[in-house]
Chains A and B, each alone.
Chain A
Amino acid sequence: MNEEYRNPDFAIERDPSDPVQGSNAGNLSYKCPNCTMPLKFDPHQNLFVCEYCDGTFALEQIKNAENEETGYNWNEYREEIHEEVLTGTRSYVCKSCGAEIVTTAVTSATKCPYCGNVLLVADSISGMLKPNKIIPFVIDRPELERLFNAFVKKKNFVPKVFKNNPVLKEVEGVYEPFWLYDSGVDGHANFEGTKTRSWSDATYDYTETKYYSISVDGDMHFSNIPADGSKRLANDMMDSLEPFDYSRMIDFEPGYLSGHMAERFDEDADQNLERVKRRMWTSADSVLRESVTGYSSVKKTGGSLQQFDRDVRYALFPVYVFNIGYQGKDYHYAVNGQTGKIVGELPFSKGLYWKWILSRVGVVFAAVYIISFFLH
């Protein structure tokens, strides 16, 4: 089973220590253990260099990282998730968009919440894989409409027809599959810091710059970084629904699915790992950088980050998804079913935009003109 999650990109095609091959080492497909971006071999240092995070690695380190990556075992989450099929649930597959919809046995799914297709086919084989956690819906449908009206009213340059009478089509509350990642990050970073002081005499201005090499080690822990496990909803849209209030996240109970549909994940934890790691690396870099104080300028010159104590959980988060049609185009929205946060593209009225600009220009110019009368 481990083989299934092995990262196929981690194949070594050449031996970079071989000087003949090393001359073409820039084309090797090693990935940075820190940020997964392609590495380049620097023949002068005899090291691999990441141009994105400035990390430097010996071949040994890369191989160790590869082994570590290969052995990435999310505390056997697969056993928990894949092997325990929920009883009392019913699963449907949308023939139109491929979504796998799960409801309780007593809830009938009639339409696909993503594409609105009514031709759902019951899937007798697969059931619901049991999530670890769930955040129940807090926002109900009438509240949702009130929130959306308030949201759209606050926005600028939205066509009046849309603003005054938004028709929320096919609103569905769905429990979206999310992976929650825990991980420790242990890092080392090198910086070049400068301290400057200036003074003058009668003839010259002087600036003295002292250069320092700074190194720092540090570790930290991240908990419950969410990443949605559905292909149907765009990752950036799901990211934008954050934050969820984890204090109200509870252990999963099938009863919460009553009256709502849930989607079964179709992106597993490994598929989302890279973007979660990027988020962690960015923040870990910031933490290390912020520990270096007292300098006029600080520039990162290198470093490395490793994960430890990793864990992952499978959770269902409440999300409303719906479309609003305007002038032949559907605008897609998602709403955090817990906090009411709304995300999605709004129609833009060029007319209103220019009307707003010209009216303001007119008013301000008139004011300036009138004031200039008094100053005249």
Chain B
Amino acid sequence: MKKLFICLLLLGSMFFGFAGIAVADEGDSDELKAGLSENGEYYYYNRVLDLTDTISAEERKELCMYVFEFMEAAKCDLQICFLNSLERLDFASADEFAEYYYEAKDYPVGYGKDRTVLFMVYETETRRCHVVFFGTSSIFSTWEVFKAQLVTEYYAGLGNHYDACLDFINRLYKNIDPTVTAKELRTDMMNEEYFKPFHNDHTDRLLDFSGLLTDDQATEMRKRLQEIRDMFAIDIIVLTAPNADGKDSEVFNDDFYDYGGFGVGPDRDGIILFVNMDPNVRYYTISTCGSCIDSIPNDYIEQIYDWMLDDFAAGAYGDGIEVFVDSVARKLTAASNSFNGIRPEDIVLRPDADRVVDPKGVLKDSVKDELEDMIAEARDRYNTDILVLVDEDATDWYFPEEYVKKYYNYMGYGEGTQRSGIALYLYSEGGKAAYKIYVAGEAQKLFKDDHLTVLSNYVKSALGGGSFNGAAEKFVRKTIFLEKYKHYPMSFGMAILWLLGIFLVVLIIASIKKAANKTVATASTAGAYLVPGSTHIRNLKENYIRTAVTKTRRPEPSSSSSGGGRSSGGGTHHSSSGTSHGGGGGRHF
């Protein structure tokens, strides 16, 4: 029934539109080619369907004329539809709506025999712009169409349907003919004066217009972005594109985020990575907004740039983007004051829990059992806990050093009131085996830097052979060895250094004492025999000769400049919409 109602609405609108065009037709019928009939004749009817009734008849006529001009250039029909809601009109999707329209026999749309046409359908209730294409193949760049959609959503969202249409046609027209002069918008609303924050929940958060990710990577990435959004209530967007619409990458990134309606909550918390694949630019930049400005500070963003650079330089863009997402996830996790749902006040000591934690079963059972026995004995004897943790997935969310620390503390490890102990975390990073050691409580006095260096060297050499089993075993054995000899306050190397130092000092003192035995020396002065008061100084004259000035350049203060044009220091900057953003800067690759 609703569809029937819409059909009547369409007919009525077309009639009025057609009437308007018919008036113009009297002046110049060549300008009114609107479609080609089965007999090769053109139809003349409205190309702008405004069910929201915000575009006047005059404006509609102007827009139609522009569409016809575009149609000739693009060899593609264009149908623009403004409506309140597809759902209310009983259409399941914009495709269904467009198809319904496309198939309406009385009002054929489409250019040429292929009836090529692009439908732009805008829903005012959802502030959503749909594009549906009919014809043999798409002649428009998906990136350009996407930008046109986003801008339409922004302009139409502000109620300016006329400029929304005009900008949409402008952008498609430019995509077909870069030399064409775009029609000027009546009101430039992309600035602070008109900007009103809004939320765009429908757009994909992985916008890979440059096709840098494989399908599998893209699927995983979308899942990951959603997980992060769910867990931390922040928007995380990855945009790869062949250009920045002629703008500076960083400015474009901020504008894309703001005018695209990204972000969560009233402050639009979120972070966006923009990879500009323009061959003349090749630049990636990150922008933060809302709470992310503080939770992911600029100096950390500089680190992310550096971590990504190797992969980007090597062309492994998918891996580089994963580094970005993981880094953001880890940073946000680190700020969280809980672990696996355990809050600090819920922590309970677990003296009977496993000391070799290996949920994925990476370690051999025999090794696990042996290590558990050794650790149990060592805990009784030395009152220091030992934990071996193997969990490769955890690094998706945690910095390794953060994970082992939180696991040890929140999962109730440690001996005595200070929860003394040492923990080894084994994981993989970039396909390579890696480790982190964490020391807690009294054990910090036992395991000093030099001891940890010794332990690290053993673990490192075992991991070099690719053996997590060997690394875990070496770690436990050497830790117990060090505990056994913990009453040696200094290492052998340190003792030798002390001995040499003391020997040197004592040798110098001995030489001075030996020299004091010498009592015989030739007298070289006669100052003791100078008659007091007999000295007369005369004619003391000073003549100035010359002046020499030397200058040396002062050392430059160290600075961490970014590859981008803007300062990457602390603080925020403002985008054209007036929104505060963190981040900025970036790296060329």
Query: Which residues from chain A sit less than 8 Å from chain B, CB to CB?
Result: 155-158, 184, 192-193, 200, 202-225, 234-237, 239-240, 242-243, 275-276, 278-280, 282-283, 286-288, 291-292, 342-346, 348, 353, 356-357, 360-361, 364-365, 368-369, 372-373, 375-376
Interface positions, chain B 403-459, Cβ under 8 Å from A, are 445
Indicate if the CB atoms of A292 and B540 lie closer than 8 Å: yes
Interface of chain B: mostly helix, strand, loop or mixed: mixed
In the complex where A204-B552, A211-B545, A360-B506 touch, is A221 in contact with B516 (Cβ < 8 A)?
Answer: no
Interface positions, chain B 505-528, Cβ under 8 Å from A, are 506-507, 509-510, 513-514, 516-528
The answer, among A157, A200, A203, A239, for a CB contact under 8 Å with B514, is: A157
Indicate if the CB atoms of A364 and B506 lie closer than 8 Å: yes
The answer, among B489, B510, B549, for a CB contact under 8 Å with A376, is: B489
Indicate if the CB atoms of A204 and B548 lie closer than 8 Å: no
8 tightest A-B CB contacts, nearest first: A221-B534, A239-B523, A279-B526, A372-B489, A376-B489, A204-B551, A220-B535, A236-B522
Instruction: Give the complex CA separation of A348 and B528 in angstroms.
Output: 32
The answer, among B525, B537, B542, B554, for a CB contact under 8 Å with A283, is: B525
CB-CB < 8 A to B543: which residues of A? 212-214
The answer, among B503, B528, B535, for a CB contact under 8 Å with A218, is: B535
Smallest CB gap from A235: residue in B:
B522
Instruction: Give the complex CA separation of A214 and B541 in angstroms.
Output: 5
Residue B536 CB within 8 A of the other chain: yes
Indicate if the CB atoms of A368 and B498 lie closer than 8 Å: yes
Residue B539 CB within 8 A of the other chain: yes
Residue B529 CB within 8 A of the other chain: yes
Residue B547 CB within 8 A of the other chain: yes
The answer, among A202, A343, A356, for a CB contact under 8 Å with B510, is: A356
CB-CB < 8 A to B523: which residues of A? 236, 239-240, 242, 279
Smallest CB gap from B512: residue in A:
A156
Smallest CB gap from B505: residue in A:
A364
Interface positions, chain B 165-188, Cβ under 8 Å from A, are none
In the complex where A215-B541, A364-B502 touch, is A243 in contact with B510 (Cβ < 8 A)?
Answer: no
Instruction: Give the complex CA separation of A342 and B520 in angstroms.
Output: 9
CB-CB < 8 A to A212: which residues of B? 542-545
Indicate if the CB atoms of A223 and B520 lie closer than 8 Å: no
Smallest CB gap from B527: residue in A:
A283
Q: Nearest-CB distance from A334 to chain B (Å)?
A: 9
Residue B313 CB within 8 A of the other chain: no
CB-CB < 8 A to B540: which residues of A? 214-216, 291-292
In the complex where A156-B513, A157-B517, A213-B545 touch, is A291 in contact with B537 (Cβ < 8 A)?
Answer: yes
List 12 contacting pairs A-B, 8 Å CB cutoff, sorted by A. Answer: A203-B553, A203-B554, A207-B549, A215-B540, A218-B538, A225-B529, A242-B523, A280-B526, A292-B540, A343-B519, A346-B517, A360-B509
Q: Nearest-CB distance from B560 to chain A (Å)?
A: 20
Q: Nearest-CB distance from B520 to chain A (Å)?
A: 5
Instruction: Give the complex CA separation of A224 and B540 in angstroms.
Output: 29
The answer, among A208, A213, A283, for a CB contact under 8 Å with B549, is: A208
Instruction: Give the complex CA separation of A144 and B531 in angstroms.
Output: 32
Residue B546 CB within 8 A of the other chain: yes
Instruction: Give the complex CA separation of A287 and B540 in angstroms.
Output: 13
CB-CB < 8 A to A219: which residues of B? 534-536, 538
Instruction: Give the complex CA separation of A237 and B522 in angstroms.
Output: 7
Indicate if the CB atoms of A211 and B547 lie closer than 8 Å: yes
Smallest CB gap from B546: residue in A:
A211
Indicate if the CB atoms of A361 and B502 lie closer than 8 Å: yes
Q: Nearest-CB distance from A365 to chain B (Å)?
A: 5
Indicate if the CB atoms of A220 and B536 lie closer than 8 Å: yes
CB-CB < 8 A to A242: which residues of B? 523, 528
CB-CB < 8 A to A204: which residues of B? 551-554
Indicate if the CB atoms of A214 and B542 lie closer than 8 Å: yes
Interface positions, chain B 127-159, Cβ under 8 Å from A, are none
Residue B530 CB within 8 A of the other chain: yes
Indicate if the CB atoms of B517 and A158 lie closer than 8 Å: yes
Query: Which residues from chain B sit less than 8 Å from chain A, CB to CB?
Result: 445, 487, 489-490, 495, 498-499, 502-503, 506-507, 509-510, 513-514, 516-531, 534-554
Instruction: Give the complex CA separation of A364 and B536 in angstroms.
Output: 54
Smallest CB gap from B448: residue in A:
A376
Q: Nearest-CB distance from A310 to chain B (Å)?
A: 14
The answer, among B502, B518, B526, B553, for a CB contact under 8 Å with A225, is: B526
Instruction: Give the complex CA separation of A5 and B544 in angstroms.
Output: 46
Smallest CB gap from B494: residue in A:
A372
Indicate if the CB atoms of A282 and B538 lie closer than 8 Å: no
Indicate if the CB atoms of A193 and B502 lie closer than 8 Å: no
Indicate if the CB atoms of A361 and B499 lie closer than 8 Å: yes
CB-CB < 8 A to A216: which residues of B? 537-541
Sample of 19 more A-B contacts, CB < 8 Å, known A214-B541, A283-B526, A361-B506? A157-B514, A205-B552, A209-B550, A210-B546, A213-B542, A214-B543, A216-B541, A218-B537, A219-B534, A219-B536, A220-B530, A220-B535, A222-B530, A279-B526, A280-B526, A291-B540, A356-B510, A368-B502, A369-B489
Indicate if the CB atoms of A283 and B539 lie closer than 8 Å: no
Q: Nearest-CB distance from A178 to chain B (Å)?
A: 13
Indicate if the CB atoms of B539 and A348 lie closer than 8 Å: no
CB-CB < 8 A to A286: which residues of B? 525, 527
Smallest CB gap from A291: residue in B:
B537
In the complex where A203-B553, A280-B526, A361-B506 touch, is A236 in contact with B521 (Cβ < 8 A)?
Answer: yes
The answer, among A218, A240, A291, for a CB contact under 8 Å with B519, is: A240
Indicate if the CB atoms of A220 and B507 lie closer than 8 Å: no
CB-CB < 8 A to B539: which residues of A? 215-217
Instruction: Give the complex CA separation of A311 and B517 in angstroms.
Output: 36
Indicate if the CB atoms of B531 and A223 lie closer than 8 Å: yes
CB-CB < 8 A to B524: which residues of A? 278-279, 282
Instruction: Give the complex CA separation of A343 and B539 in angstroms.
Output: 43
Indicate if the CB atoms of B535 and A369 lie closer than 8 Å: no
CB-CB < 8 A to A156: which residues of B? 513-514, 516-517
The answer, among B503, B517, B528, for a CB contact under 8 Å with A155, is: B517
Indicate if the CB atoms of A210 and B547 lie closer than 8 Å: yes
Instruction: Give the complex CA separation of A343 and B522 in angstroms.
Output: 12
Instruction: Give the complex CA separation of A80 and B277 in angstroms.
Output: 112
The answer, among A192, A209, A223, for a CB contact under 8 Å with B529, is: A223
Indicate if the CB atoms of B527 and A208 lie closer than 8 Å: no
Indicate if the CB atoms of A210 and B541 lie closer than 8 Å: no
Q: Nearest-CB distance from B526 to chain A (Å)?
A: 4
Instruction: Give the complex CA separation of A207 and B550 in angstroms.
Output: 5
Q: Nearest-CB distance from A369 to chain B (Å)?
A: 7
Instruction: Give the complex CA separation of A208 and B550 in angstroms.
Output: 7
CB-CB < 8 A to A283: which residues of B? 525-527, 530
Instruction: Give the complex CA separation of A346 and B518 in angstroms.
Output: 8
Q: Nearest-CB distance from A344 to chain B (Å)?
A: 6
CB-CB < 8 A to A342: which residues of B? 519
Smallest CB gap from B536: residue in A:
A219
Instruction: Give the complex CA separation of A276 and B547 in angstroms.
Output: 41
The answer, among B498, B520, B547, for a CB contact under 8 Å with A209, is: B547
Instruction: Give the complex CA separation of A208 and B545 in angstroms.
Output: 13
Smallest CB gap from B526: residue in A:
A279
Smallest CB gap from A278: residue in B:
B524
CB-CB < 8 A to B528: which residues of A? 242-243
In the complex where A211-B545, A365-B502 touch, is A239 in contact with B522 (Cβ < 8 A)?
Answer: yes
Instruction: Give the complex CA separation of A276 and B523 in angstroms.
Output: 9
Indicate if the CB atoms of A236 and B520 lie closer than 8 Å: yes
